[in-house]
Amino acid sequence: MLDVSPFNLFLGLEVIKADPETQEVTMRSPMRPEFERRPGSKQWHGGVIASVIDTVGDFAVGMMVGRGLPTVNFRVDYLKPAVDTALIAVSRVRRAGKSVGVADVDVFDEKGALLAIGRGTYSTL
């Protein structure tokens, strides 16, 4: 399902772990020049980080309900800059109900430092 979307392919997302028992999905996105905040800075643009959070949260809830879902709302808190690293996004499902699903997402650098946190809400109707 991940590779069907041209946007997801552009993000370079790779599933590291998808565990329905723990309701967690972990994905990795490599840095590429198109994701830089400023050319040559190797610093991730916040919009790309937000897209990773939304996508990984969606796939975690989608894993539990068996299909892709539209986003109702999501938020991001940026904790520190992501520089010269791939992103590792870990999503945990908080609810996969009849009408709404919620996932929390932690974004780390390759050394394990927490860079951003987010929460997505998705329609499960």
Residues in the chain: 125
Instruction: Give the position of tokens 């520089």.
Output: 83
Whole-prediction pTM value? 0.94
The CATH H-level (homologous superfamily) assignment of domain 6-123 is Hotdog Thioesterase (3.10.129.10)
CA 106 to each of CA 35, 49, 56, 115, 118: distance values in angstroms, whole numbers, following the listed order: 19, 11, 10, 8, 7
pLDDT of residue 3: 78
Tokens of 60: 């975690």
> Domain segments of the chain: what residues?
6-123
pLDDT of residue 44: 97
pLDDT of residue 38: 93
Closest Cα to residue 75, out of 120, 114, 107, 108?
120
pLDDT in tens, 57-107: 999 999 999 998 999 999 999 999 999 999 999 999 999 999 999 999 999
